[in-house]
Structure 1
Amino acid sequence: MDDKIHPNFKLSAYLIFAAITVDVISGFIQWGKNPNFDMTVTAEMALMFMTFGYFAFIGKDWIKWVILLATILTIFPLIATLNQEANGISLFYISQFFSSLLKFSAFIVLSLVKKKP
């Protein structure tokens, strides 16, 4: 079964797992700076994207649309925080932008897979 899965699915899964790592690290950084930061939301998002990464790893074609939708929905808070930053762009914003870029790259990699006839 492993040889039937296109290599882009595994690459996409690794990109998603890298994005999760960036999210969790930035969550811990934000939690250290702001004790009111809710770490459970970061953990829930990490579990959700780990599930997406698993489905990409096993070669499910429909996961690319779910990843795209989730990535778009996670970009909206970034746009809101950009307007609230008084001292310029923070490390948290940069890490979240990089994470979103990794997730969108996973969608692009999955989009390059040819449909099975």
Structure 2
Amino acid sequence: MTMDSRSVIDALGALAQEYRLALFRLLVQAGGDGMAAGAIAGALGVPNSSLSFHLAQLRGAGLIEQERQHRTIIYRANYPAMNALVAYLMENCCAASACEGEGCAPTADERKSV
């Protein structure tokens, strides 16, 4: 999956809000099983009315997916879209200079601090 600049702007715009960023990170951590809306609301302390708005923003940007399981809607991170966004941002990494282990690939300590 590749992203064009408009899709990247939409994705970054959707993530540029405290609750949506926390929500997306929560779903990334949840893995392929995803989470029900009620569990997300409880984990983030967000009212259901606000949660619906934030979920819609992330869905509109293509960063999350939803699946109905009986009476419950399960939300999951869209990993191909997430990876495409990161790939787009890293596409020209170190194009102007040679990478020497710093800058392009985060170290284990840098990944832990994010």
The structure with higher relative contact order (CA 8 Å, sep 6+) is 1
Normalised by the length of structure 2, the TM-score is 0.30
- Hey, which of these two has a bigger chunk of strand by percent? 2
